[in-house]
Amino acid sequence: MKKPYRILCVCMNNVCRSPMAEVVLRKCLIQAGLGGRVEVASAATHGFRVGDVCDSKTNLAAQARGYNVTLMRAQKIGWQDFEYFDLILAMDQNNLSNLRRMTTEEQQRRIRLFLDFSEIFHGQDVPDPYLTLGASFDDVLDRIEDGARGVVTFLERQFSAAEATGVVAVDA
């Protein structure tokens, strides 16, 4: 059996942005017919909230758009994740920097900013609605949905190229 492509979405505490990114991306992949080829998970760069459920405001915003985060529990990224996952998506520049400090030069090629794949919000951060004035959970979901669609498009291209070459590349 062929190994699935593995994606990890990462934010600071794994109770808001990265769990939303995980469920949104998973749903987009299923809708595109790629659900069986790609695994998606999420984690935190910090361990402050390990084991906690998603924030109640995260849950309400997700449910309003048809996503379910109620069974998710926060977990911290581990050293083994940098080898296990093919693509690690940071929600913002701060987490991107933290992830790069934890890795080897080889592993850094697997780490990208989530919104690098976005059409509307390309290269921007998915703002933390707790730390960023004016950021709302709806704004966060708008950005995540756009970024997730971009990740799916990227993977469709990569999988098509892989059929010809036999290699799935992380580089866009």
Structure tokens that stand for 141 in this block? 């979901």
Active site (annotated) includes residue 17: yes
- The kind and range of the H/E element at 137 are helix 137-165
Helices (H), 32-136: 56-64, 81-84, 93-101, 105-108
Q: Which of 92, 128, 143, 149 is catalytic?
A: 128
Is 128 tagged catalytic? yes
Catalytic residue among 9, 16, 17, 55: 17
9, 11, 16, 28: the catalytic one is 11
Is residue 9 part of the annotated active site? The answer reads no
From 34, 10, 41, select the one nearest 157 (Cα to Cα).
Answer: 34
Nearest C-alpha neighbor of 3 from the set 65, 85, 61:
85
Q: Which sequence positions are flagged as catalytic?
A: 11, 17, 128
